[in-house]
């Protein structure tokens, strides 16, 4: 039996040893999902504290449905911290970070280091899947690196593919089940094997074979599309502010048009993916050739939003309003109802307010860190201390509580338009436009 | 009876005299539609030839359903060429051009001149509606101009609103019936009257009262949104070309994502509205304040597409391919299945090819002009003469005929990806990416 038919059979019979690398926001739900579907799953993370917590059933993630998925399936996963124990892996799934540095260049060393470690240890006949979002061409380069480190031969001893995750933070568990998946092999046999593996856990109709480069580009295009569309909403909000009209009404009326679907403007774009994926797409192109202007403009429009919200705060004449110069900022995560603060525009606003010498008090029911500000222990404590309040992120929980409060003496800044009917309930309202 | 209740009653009873100014792409279908709905309609255009043709039933427009609408309703419309005859108008609907000049500044003199003419002639108690797409604030300024010229008093003697059309060229007749309408008054009484008027011809649920400024902004936002999204598709196409991957496959796979809907890339953005409305929105803001970067980037991305397609043609080594240096360009209108060539990227490509000293032969079944190139009388004549063929616009009729032709000796450039399964049927295929 050839190595190809051997691994094909192990995949089809669901007896392949699957190792998921990285037990983070994507790796953990993925590993749990695979375990639920009956695969033999090992989860590897070099962060010993994280793995130790996982062994005790602690996940550190706010994800709808994750707790129940974890309580069922975490015990079925072998959790390890060292590459020493992965020799028997048939399928390796890398869910590792691929951030950008300060010059917006991709940082691929997490993937490269892991591939080098794998290359030195994996047996012949394995399938390596990259789930991370990476610049176009990266999976091919990682496959070459793997071949060099392992001295194994692509297409004979191992197969290699890009299979991006495409889930929405907060809805990861539900979307793992329902979203389409790409199987982007660096060779056609790799595509076939990756398709077989994904089809063994996902609905086969949701699995789409393609090339690694197209898979990488499709994933980057998805997030760049979102980023550009949020940037359009944000730019429109700034234009409406200049024109003294309500951007919410403008968008609502524009969206009556059958071919128009403008997103909601807000305090900016955060999270792990959107702020970097436009750059990963742009940086996929060799320097000195074509320079994409729209995607880069979108990035700067969105990056500027926290500073823009700050400029609206600055326009307040607090003395004339007889208000204390203390700003309360509610909500620190990058989007509602999650604890994730990665690249959070709300946190960036905290930094901007502090750098301007303002006194800042923060409260987020999901976030314990204070980011250099004072941290209130409750919504009431913050409202008691602050007459200027910014709703950086409208967690459902916060909005529900705020609706019940007396805000009539507050200057209330709601850049995401999260609060219903706020204008007539506050001393002064500041939205994104009027 | 006050003048307000008088005109309100005339509108409600459908006995108001309605004058539509401008018998062009929007004005004519609008006037016909109003006539069909039983209003007393006068159509005014200062172009005597146009009016004379209309009187003979000739419309000069390719619009689905227009001929039948016209044959029924053109005889019911009083067609005039002079402002002398409008004294009895109750409702004036201005469907006049509002282009931009070479510096991308709005040209409002058609509207201003018309408003001045109206001001000198209209009786007390009239409603003026601006259908044209205009920079935010324009309707208010036109109302002031009207008050000055007429010495009538806004809110007492006349009412004034912005009521933009929102129809898709090619589908104007169908969309007049189904699209939502905005009634954006410069005063709340104006909004009320405009709403009443629109509700007398359109389904009342489709009519949305708002302010003139919001109405103007919503219309500009709709078209800017479309323009930005086409620009994203075009920029993605150029990135994919740099990366040697097929943008069509990338978009198809990206669009499997539940929150992604990337449009089709193509030869550029044309027509009367999209190339200018982003500028009208940007130019609504006072100079020296906020400069929107995304909308302007979108404009330049889309404007560059004909030159980019030309650069792909230039990369061909015609001598090495033993081909004649004659380029055939099929389709000249700005979109498929219409005769409208305003701001057509395909026509721009003709100019670029000619300026580069190339011999160009054009053919478009809907367009008789040659734009300085030679004009073939048929598809066959063009195919006989040219070995390099560009499908600038994929009219259904052209695509249907091309599918039947032997293209095996052609270099075929299909920037809009209009032709099915073309790659294996031509000597050399050039799409937007590969």
Q: What is the pLDDT of residues B98-126, one digit of tens each?
A: 999 999 999 999 999 999 999 999 989 99
How many residues can be counted in chain B?
Answer: 434
Domain ranges across chain B? 3-220, 305-430
User: Mutating which of A140, A169, A217, A252 best tests the B interface, going by the most B Cβ atoms within 10 A?
Assistant: A217
User: Mutating which of A228, A246, A263 best tests the B interface, going by the most B Cβ atoms within 10 A?
Assistant: A228
Q: Which of A243, A261, A282 sits opposite B284 (nearest CB)?
A: A243
Q: What is the pLDDT of residues A5-35, one digit of tens each?
A: 999 999 999 999 999 999 998 999 999 999 9
Q: Which of A179, A249, A281 sits opposite B239 (nearest CB)?
A: A281
Query: Which chain A residue is nearest to residue B242, measuring alpha carbons?
Result: A285
DSSP for A225-237 reads HHHHHHHHHHHHH
β-strands A326-330, A207-211: how paired?
A: unpaired
- Give B319: exposed, middle or buried? Use CB within 10 Å, 0-12, 13-18, 19+: exposed
Rg of chain A in Å (alpha carbons) = 24
CATH for A3-220 (3.40.50.10490, 3.40.50.720, 1.10.357.10, 3.20.20.140): 3.40.50.720
DSSP for B85-124 reads GGTT-SEEEE-----B-TTS-B--HHHHHHHHHHHHHPPS
How high is the ipTM of this complex? 0.95
Angle at Cα A175 formed by Cα A135 and Cα A142, nearest 5°?
A: 25
Backbone φ, ψ for residue A337 (5° rounding): 70, 20
Q: Which of A222, A246, A250 sits opposite B257 (nearest CB)?
A: A222
Per-residue pLDDT, averaged over B400-418, amounts to 95
Q: Which of A213, A232, A250 sits opposite B294 (nearest CB)?
A: A232
User: Mutating which of A133, A283, A297 best tests the B interface, going by the most B Cβ atoms within 10 A?
Assistant: A297
The distance of A299 to chain B (nearest Cα, Å) reads 9
Check if the beta carbon of residue A382 is closer than 8 Å to that of residue A407: no
Distance CA A317, CA A340 (A): 33
Catalytic site positions of A: 219, 273
β-strands A158-162, A181-185: how paired?
A: antiparallel
Query: Which chain B residue is nearest to residue A281, measuring alpha carbons?
Result: B239
CATH number, span B305-430 = 3.40.50.720
Res. A1: pLDDT tops 80: no
Q: Take residue A235 and report the two structure tokens written for it.
A: 């730019």
Q: What is the pLDDT of residues A81-112, one digit of tens each?
A: 998 888 889 999 999 999 999 999 999 999 99
* Cβ separation B136–A256 shorter than 8 A: no
Q: What is the pLDDT of residues B336-371, one digit of tens each?
A: 998 899 999 999 999 999 999 999 999 999 999 999
Catalytic site positions of B: 219, 273
The distance of A376 to chain B (nearest Cα, Å) reads 36
Helix (H) or strand (E) holding B375: strand B374-375
* Cβ separation A245–B136 shorter than 8 A: yes
Distance CA B375, CA B393 (A): 16
Q: Comparing C-alpha atoms, which of A8, A23, A1, A3 is closest to residue A123?
A: A3
Query: Which chain B residue is nearest to residue A178, measuring alpha carbons?
Result: B258
* Cβ separation B217–A243 shorter than 8 A: yes
The distance of B329 to chain A (nearest Cα, Å) reads 26
From first CA to last CA, the distance across chain A in angstroms is 71
Distance CA B210, CA B183 (A): 6
Per-residue pLDDT, averaged over A302-328, amounts to 88
Query: Which chain A residue is nearest to residue B135, measuring alpha carbons?
Result: A243
DSSP for A340-353 reads --TT-HHHHHHHHH
Strands (E), A25-110: 40-44, 78-80, 91-94
* Cβ separation A182–B253 shorter than 8 A: yes
Q: Which of A136, A211, A254 sits opposite B218 (nearest CB)?
A: A254
β-strands A411-413, A428-430: how paired?
A: parallel
Res. A399: pLDDT tops 80: yes
Q: Take residue B193 and report the two structure tokens written for it.
A: 């009257």
The distance of A23 to chain B (nearest Cα, Å) reads 24
Long-range contacts of A200-208 (CB under 8 A, 24+ apart): A200/A11, A200/A12, A200/A14, A200/A37, A200/A39, A201/A33, A201/A34, A201/A37, A201/A39, A202/A177, A206/A178, A206/A179, A206/A180, A206/A181, A207/A180, A207/A181, A207/A182, A207/A183, A208/A180, A208/A181, A208/A182, A208/A183, A208/B253, A208/B256
Check if the beta carbon of residue A93 is closer than 8 Å to that of residue A19: yes
Q: What is the pLDDT of residues B138-162, one digit of tens each?
A: 999 999 999 999 999 999 999 999 9
Partners of residue B257 in chain A, C-beta under 8 Å: 166, 179-180, 222
* Cβ separation B250–A218 shorter than 8 A: yes
Distance CA A100, CA A254 (A): 35
Check if the beta carbon of residue A334 is closer than 8 Å to that of residue A344: yes
Partners of residue B258 in chain A, C-beta under 8 Å: 175, 178-179
Q: What is the pLDDT of residues A197-250, one digit of tens each?
A: 999 999 999 999 999 999 999 999 999 999 999 999 999 999 999 999 999 999
Cβ atoms within 10 Å of A286's Cβ, excluding its own = 10
- Alpha carbon of residue A40 to chain centroid: 27
The answer to whether domain B3-220 and domain B305-430 are alike in fold is yes
| pLDDT confidence of residue A434 | 65
Res. A131: pLDDT tops 90: yes
| pLDDT confidence of residue A303 | 97
Q: What is the pLDDT of residues B13-41, one digit of tens each?
A: 999 999 999 999 899 999 999 999 999 99
Distance CA B433, CA B248 (A): 8
């Amino acid at each position: 039996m050839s190595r190809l038919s051997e691994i094909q059979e192990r995949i089809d019979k669901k007896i392949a040893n699957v190792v998921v690398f990285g037990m983070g926001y994507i790796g953990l739900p993925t590993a749990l999902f695979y375990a639920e579907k009956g695969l033999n799953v090992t989860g590897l993370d070099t962060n010993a504290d994280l793995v130790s917590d996982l062994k005790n059933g602690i996940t550190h993630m706010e994800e709808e449905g994750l707790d129940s998925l974890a309580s069922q399936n975490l015990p079925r996963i072998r959790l390890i911290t060292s590459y020493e124990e992965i020799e028997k892996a048939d399928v390796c799934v890398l869910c590792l970070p691929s951030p950008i540095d300060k010059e917006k260049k991709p940082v691929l060393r997490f993937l490269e280091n892991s591939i080098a470690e794998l290359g030195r240890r994996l047996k012949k006949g394995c399938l390596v899947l990259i789930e991370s979002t990476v610049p176009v061409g990266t999976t091919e380069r990682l496959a070459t690196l793997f071949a060099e480190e392992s001295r194994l031969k692509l297409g004979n001893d191992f197969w290699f593919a890009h299979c991006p995750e495409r889930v929405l933070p907060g809805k990861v568990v539900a979307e793992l089940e329902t979203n389409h998946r790409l199987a982007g092999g660096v060779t056609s046999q790799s595509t076939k094997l990756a398709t077989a593996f994904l089809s063994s856990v996902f609905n086969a109709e949701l699995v789409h074979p393609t090339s690694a480069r197209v898979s990488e580009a499709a994933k980057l295009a998805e997030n760049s599309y979102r980023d550009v569309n949020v940037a359009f909403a944000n730019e429109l909000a700034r234009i409406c502010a200049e024109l003294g009209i309500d951007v919410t009404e403008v968008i609502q009326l524009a969206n009556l048009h059958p071919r128009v679907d403008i997103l909601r403007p807000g305090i900016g774009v955060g999270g792990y993916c959107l702020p970097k994926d436009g750059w990963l797409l742009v940086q996929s192109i060799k320097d000195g050739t074509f320079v994409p202007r729209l995607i880069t403009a979108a990035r700067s429009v969105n990056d500027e939003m926290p500073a823009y919200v700050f400029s609206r705060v600055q326009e307040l004449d607090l003395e004339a309003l007889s208000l204390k110069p203390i700003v309360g900022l509610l909500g620190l995560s990058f989007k509602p109802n999650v604890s994730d603060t990665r690249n959070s525009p709300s946190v960036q606003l905290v930094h901007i307010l502090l750098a301007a010498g303002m006194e800042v008090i923060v409260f987020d029911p999901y976030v314990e860190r204070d980011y250099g500000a004072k941290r209130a222990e409750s919504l009431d404590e913050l409202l008691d201390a602050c007459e200027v309040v910014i709703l950086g992120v409208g967690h459902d929980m916060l909005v529900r509580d705020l609706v019940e409060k007396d805000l009539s003496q507050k200057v209330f800044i709601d850049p995401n338009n999260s609060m219903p009917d706020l204008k007539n309930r506050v001393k002064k309202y500041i939205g994104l436009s009027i």
